[in-house]
Amino acid sequence: MSSPSSAPLRLGIAGLGTVGIGVVKIVQTHAEMIMRRGGRPIEIVAVSANSRTKERGADISGYAWEDDPVALGRRDDIDVVIELMGGENGAAKALVETALKNGKDVVTANKALLARHGTELARLAESHDRVLRFEAAVAGGIPVIKALTEGLAGNRITRVMGVMNGTCNYILTRMEATGQGYNVLFDEAFKLGYLEADPNLDVGGIDAGHKLSLLSAIAFGTEVDFDNVVLQGIGSISLDDIRLARDMGYSIKLLGVAQMTGRGLEQRMTPCLVPETHPLGQLQGGTNMVVIEGDSVGQIVLRGAGAGEGPTASAVMGDVLDIARGLRLPVFGQPAATLTDAPPAVVSAGAPWYLRMTLLDKPGALAKIATLLGESGISIARMRQYSHDGTDAPVLIVTHKASSDDISFALAKFAETGVVVGDPVALRIEEV
Amino acid sequence: MSSPSSAPLRLGIAGLGTVGIGVVKIVQTHAEMIMRRGGRPIEIVAVSANSRTKERGADISGYAWEDDPVALGRRDDIDVVIELMGGENGAAKALVETALKNGKDVVTANKALLARHGTELARLAESHDRVLRFEAAVAGGIPVIKALTEGLAGNRITRVMGVMNGTCNYILTRMEATGQGYNVLFDEAFKLGYLEADPNLDVGGIDAGHKLSLLSAIAFGTEVDFDNVVLQGIGSISLDDIRLARDMGYSIKLLGVAQMTGRGLEQRMTPCLVPETHPLGQLQGGTNMVVIEGDSVGQIVLRGAGAGEGPTASAVMGDVLDIARGLRLPVFGQPAATLTDAPPAVVSAGAPWYLRMTLLDKPGALAKIATLLGESGISIARMRQYSHDGTDAPVLIVTHKASSDDISFALAKFAETGVVVGDPVALRIEEV
């Protein structure tokens, strides 16, 4: 079969951290395999990074050097710019824009950039007849962008779910395995280098929320709308929650869910209970998982490493090979001009909820809570008061289906009862 | 972004069984979505099936009819022929060849055809500059061909594994769940319509072996070589095996494994023990799973429905949309002329083995077996003789790593000892 071009595909790489060096290594070690699969040679022409002389474990002396990464976007001898610097603005954005305007295709791993500016960059790319690809931005080495955009393109997508921050899943599963608390394991993750410079990007759900917003856009044909992803981090999850959930047959995951509802586009990245018998519930450690549901295909589960040199570089190279082979798709799988501006669903679809609170040990406290829930239109499926030594009584309630609105209403009222100590914890039980 | 063509993509469908009608339904109900994603309308022009008048749950009156499916391959008003008749020779092969020779692209779900004639058909397709796609032939709705050929193309693939026959997995997991024997659940699967007309295609591992041979060709750049897939069905698996495996923390799966070794290409589809903590061990019922391991990406797991109208039609439509979008790849991800003729690895890589046998209850029987294993170069990790009422003693042995050759040698010698009753069962413990 004739390739669209047999000329070498010439790359410029901005950012030579872990992922950038991973890409360099693949290009250097697998040249013959890449040519066989891509139908043409793939060459690195120029690179840019913070330091030219830093020891990186790969020989970059044969490549042209640019102090200014944006200059890569203007070089005549580059076909594809690979942006691996990160950051939602600044040089990364300037480089991507410059490259597209100068007729270069772009491959990026930058979820923050696309979550903030994805629709605008897609319009720019398509107006210049360029492709902008980002498999590496979501769930590391798992080819989920490709599965959703291409393999499952014959489906109306009904829901996308995912555990897409390995650090959060590491902390949560280590809490369960070791019986150590959140703070201890946060420190452990920090020491292991698993946390971003701003840890809230991880444990606050922001990084995973960025990824979810990109999957949403493809799945539902909507403009990227990160601002309306409901975010809740894992900092409020206690060992008690993990144990109580497990006793009922659930695991707690920082779970992203996107679905189009009659009330608008629902996007949330929040800790949820999922059945421990489902692959999501069984996911251990830093591994990522994305679940895609379509009207024809049913439920597809994709699992793999969500970060790291090899997996992320693998995703970048998949995109590069697609470009070498002549695959040219709109950025989000349909022309950017056809992406709709869906209203956000303020109230999430009904689900059972897990509520944990501490009540003052005085007569009628439990009855007050039960009454209040009833008045809020929430019916109780199970309720359990745990034995206790002191004056405060831990209480677990599992509700029947209730909307997030009803739950928020009830939580606000709890404070007025005068019997609830501290903040109650409310976690959705996602039906998978 | 401009599509390669904005003219309608015109389909001819041969075979209007479950999958064919599934494709018709998607094209009819999702026309607008398909156009948005594919960049051009997709139309069904003509169909062919055994009976023109059969009630099928979809209106086909608007399509031209061909009594002879091969005639679809010659029609000037068709761009893509979708072959859903099945069969490794006969009309299916004639249609695919005719279509390719007449300048049509082909999408097929026919694993038997490709397992037998894949290399030859790839050469034919590529000599006519046509694409031949087969996502629906392997693991139903799971976009595994795409993941392996495209998403993971930057990896040297080190191993591909899969549970790819839902009927076998249904029988095995029902044996474990219900405690009923193989014959009872074979009958149940038959009554539920889960078995092929020739059940040996399912329970003998042939259907799954076909699929494995296609994944091998892509993964390792080799000619399709189904004849050298080592096949072993599930008929010899007893409830005892399932229970003993579970007691040790394993599940028994009909597992396909393909890997390139120093001794050649190893392809086998045999019952294996896999850890119950791995996604493969947790796979229940008719669901399929494919595990792909690459040098950069590590281990990727893909899970979903392996059969049925919706999932298989979803895979067909993924291929059709790729063609609409202008994606044109060699059939097995690299030019057919570059596929190598790898020698089969006669001896599989070393692994621990599960051996179950029944010994005559007489002094020294167990010692004879242990001595024989030692003489065969096989060392024993665990050995257990079970309590028994009668004259025969069930014995379970787990070995340290041994080659399939050593195991075969030892099994052949067992008969000569005069203490083994019936045929011993030997199952590989796959290290996942």
Q: What is the DSSP string of A235-290?
A: TT--HHHHHHHHHTTEEEEEEEEEEEETTEEEEEEEEEEEETTSHHHH--TTEEEE
Phi/psi of residue A104, nearest 5 degrees: -105, 145
Cβ distance of A335 and B1 shorter than 8 Å: yes
Cβ distance of A299 and B279 shorter than 8 Å: no
Entry field: residues in chain B: 432
Cβ distance of A333 and B37 shorter than 8 Å: yes
Cβ distance of B300 and A142 shorter than 8 Å: yes
Count of beta carbons in the 10 Å neighbourhood of residue A338:
12
Binding site annotation covers B196? Answer: yes
Binding site annotation covers A196? Answer: yes
For residue B322, the SS3 value is: helix
Q: How confident is the model at residue B3 (pLDDT cuts 50, 70, 90)?
A: very low
How confident is the model at residue B362, as a pLDDT?
82
Query: So where are chain B's domains?
Result: 9-141+328-332, 144-306, 353-429
Q: Which amino acid is at A113?
A: L
Among positive and negative, which fits the CA dihedral B95, B97, B99, B102?
negative
* Token pair for B262: 């120093």
Question: In chain B, what residues touch A153 (CB-CB under 8 Å)?
Answer: 34, 37-38, 317-318, 321
How far does the CA of residue A236 sit from the closest CA of chain B (Å)?
Answer: 29
- Greatest CA span in chain A, whole angstroms? 81
How confident is the model at residue B2, as a pLDDT?
42
- Do the beta carbons of residue B232 and residue B205 sit within 8 Å? yes
* Token pair for A4: 């669209």
Segment B396-404 shows an average pLDDT of: 94
CA distance A336 to A330: 7
How far does the CA of residue B5 sit from the closest CA of chain A (Å)?
Answer: 12
Q: Which of A296, A309, A316, A317 to mutate to test the interface with B (most CBs of B within 10 A)?
A: A296
Question: In chain A, what residues touch B22 (CB-CB under 8 Å)?
Answer: 296
Q: Look at residue B255 and tell me whether its pLDDT is greater than 60.
A: yes
Least confidently predicted of A316-330, B255-269, B372-386:
B372-386
Entry field: residues in chain A: 432
Q: Look at residue B319 and tell me whether its pLDDT is greater than 90.
A: yes
Using CA atoms, how far residue B335 sits from A43, A93, A321, B223, B429, in Å, is 21, 38, 15, 11, 36
Q: Residue A339: closest CA among chain B residues belongs to which residue?
A: B36
Cβ distance of A310 and B296 shorter than 8 Å: yes
Cβ distance of A37 and B300 shorter than 8 Å: no
Helices A309-325/A18-29 angle, 10° precision? 60
For residue B219, the surrounding DSSP H or E stretch is helix B206-220
How far does the CA of residue B362 sit from the closest CA of chain A (Å)?
Answer: 45
Q: Residue A334: closest CA among chain B residues belongs to which residue?
A: B37
For residue B117, the SS3 value is: helix
A183 class by beta-carbon count within 10 Å (0-12 exposed, 13-18 middle, 19+ buried): exposed
Facing residue for A311 by CB, picked from B298, B321, B325: B298
Cβ distance of B141 and A317 shorter than 8 Å: no
CA distance B282 to A23: 34
How far does the CA of residue A317 sit from the closest CA of chain B (Å)?
Answer: 5
How confident is the model at residue A3, as a pLDDT?
45
The set of catalytic residues of A is 211
Cβ distance of A297 and B305 shorter than 8 Å: yes
More confident of the two residues B414 and A288:
A288
Nearest to A86 by CA among A126, A56, A129, A116: A116
Least confidently predicted of A264-273, B271-280, B403-412:
B403-412
Cβ distance of A305 and B299 shorter than 8 Å: yes
Q: Residue B35: closest CA among chain A residues belongs to which residue?
A: A334
Alpha carbons within 13 A on the beta-carbon side of B155: 31
Q: Look at residue B279 and tell me whether its pLDDT is greater than 90.
A: yes
pLDDT, tens digit, 9 for 90 and up, residues B172-185: 999 999 999 999 99
Alpha carbons within 13 A on the beta-carbon side of B201: 15
Facing residue for A150 by CB, picked from B1, B39, B322: B322
How confident is the model at residue B6, as a pLDDT?
87
Question: In chain A, what residues touch B30 (CB-CB under 8 Å)?
Answer: 154, 156
Q: How far apart are the first and last CA of chain A?
A: 43
* Token pair for B156: 């040297």
How far does the CA of residue B4 sit from the closest CA of chain A (Å)?
Answer: 9
Mode of pairing for the β-strands spanning B287-294 and B298-305: antiparallel
How far does the CA of residue A131 sit from the closest CA of chain B (Å)?
Answer: 8
Question: In chain B, what residues touch A333 (CB-CB under 8 Å)?
Answer: 37
B288 Rama sector, left if φ>0, alpha if ψ -120 to 50, beta otherwise: beta
Helices A365-375/A404-417 angle, 10° precision? 140
Cβ distance of A301 and B298 shorter than 8 Å: no
Cβ distance of B146 and A143 shorter than 8 Å: yes
Cβ distance of A147 and B152 shorter than 8 Å: no
CA distance B92 to A115: 47
How confident is the model at residue A1, as a pLDDT?
41
Question: In chain A, what residues touch B1 (CB-CB under 8 Å)?
Answer: 125-126, 129, 131, 328-330, 335
- Do the beta carbons of residue A134 and residue A108 sit within 8 Å? yes
What's domain B9-141+328-332's architecture? 3-Layer(aba) Sandwich (3.40)
User: B9-141+328-332 with B144-306: one CATH topology?
Assistant: no
Question: In chain A, what residues touch B288 (CB-CB under 8 Å)?
Answer: none
Count of beta carbons in the 10 Å neighbourhood of residue B83:
29
A389 class by beta-carbon count within 10 Å (0-12 exposed, 13-18 middle, 19+ buried): exposed
> In the A/B pair of chains, how many CB contacts fall below 8 A?
207
CA distance B396 to B273: 14
* Token pair for A40: 């043409």
Q: Which fold has domain A353-429?
A: Alpha-Beta Plaits (3.30.70)
What ipTM was assigned to the predicted interfaces of this complex?
0.96
- Average pLDDT of chain B to the nearest whole number: 95
Q: Which of A314, A321, A328, A338 to mutate to test the interface with B (most CBs of B within 10 A)?
A: A314
Q: Look at residue B214 and tell me whether its pLDDT is greater than 60.
A: yes
pLDDT, tens digit, 9 for 90 and up, residues A226-269: 999 999 999 999 999 999 999 999 999 999 999 999 899 999 99
Question: In chain A, what residues touch B155 (CB-CB under 8 Å)?
Answer: 314, 317
- Do the beta carbons of residue B324 and residue A322 sit within 8 Å? no
How far does the CA of residue B87 sit from the closest CA of chain A (Å)?
Answer: 24
Facing residue for A296 by CB, picked from B37, B314, B338: B314
Contacts of A258 (CB under 8 A, 6+ apart): A159, A160, A161, A212, A215, A216, A219, A220, A265, A266, A267, A268
CA distance A396 to A415: 17
Cβ distance of A37 and B333 shorter than 8 Å: yes
Helix segments in A102-231, DSSP class H:
111-127, 144-146, 166-178, 182-191, 200-203, 206-220
For residue B325, the SS3 value is: helix
Question: In chain B, what residues touch A315 (CB-CB under 8 Å)?
Answer: 151, 297
Q: Name residues of chain A where pLDDT drops below 70.
A: 1-4, 388, 390
Least confidently predicted of A139-143, B75-79, B153-157, B190-194:
B190-194
How confident is the model at residue A13, as a pLDDT?
98
Question: In chain B, what residues touch A295 (CB-CB under 8 Å)?
Answer: 310
Question: In chain B, what residues touch A156 (CB-CB under 8 Å)?
Answer: 30, 33
How confident is the model at residue B1, as a pLDDT?
41
Q: Which of A36, A150, A251, A322 to mutate to test the interface with B (most CBs of B within 10 A)?
A: A150
Q: Which CATH superfamily is domain A9-142+328-336 in?
A: NAD(P)-binding Rossmann-like Domain (3.40.50.720)
* Token pair for B132: 């031949």
Q: Which fold has domain B144-306?
A: Dihydrodipicolinate Reductase; domain 2 (3.30.360)
Strands (E), B131-229: 132-133, 157-163
Q: Residue A2: closest CA among chain B residues belongs to which residue?
A: B129
Nearest to A83 by CA among A10, A13, A9: A13
- Do the beta carbons of residue A140 and residue A165 sit within 8 Å? no
Q: Look at residue B171 and tell me whether its pLDDT is greater than 90.
A: yes
How confident is the model at residue B102, as a pLDDT?
98
- Do the beta carbons of residue A345 and residue A261 sit within 8 Å? yes
Cβ distance of A317 and B153 shorter than 8 Å: yes
Facing residue for A300 by CB, picked from B2, B304, B333: B304
DSSP state of A76: T
Q: Residue B128: closest CA among chain A residues belongs to which residue?
A: A1
How confident is the model at residue A4, as a pLDDT?
58
Among residues B93, B104, B146, B211, the one annotated as catalytic is: B211
Nearest to B396 by CA among B355, B430, B424, B366: B355
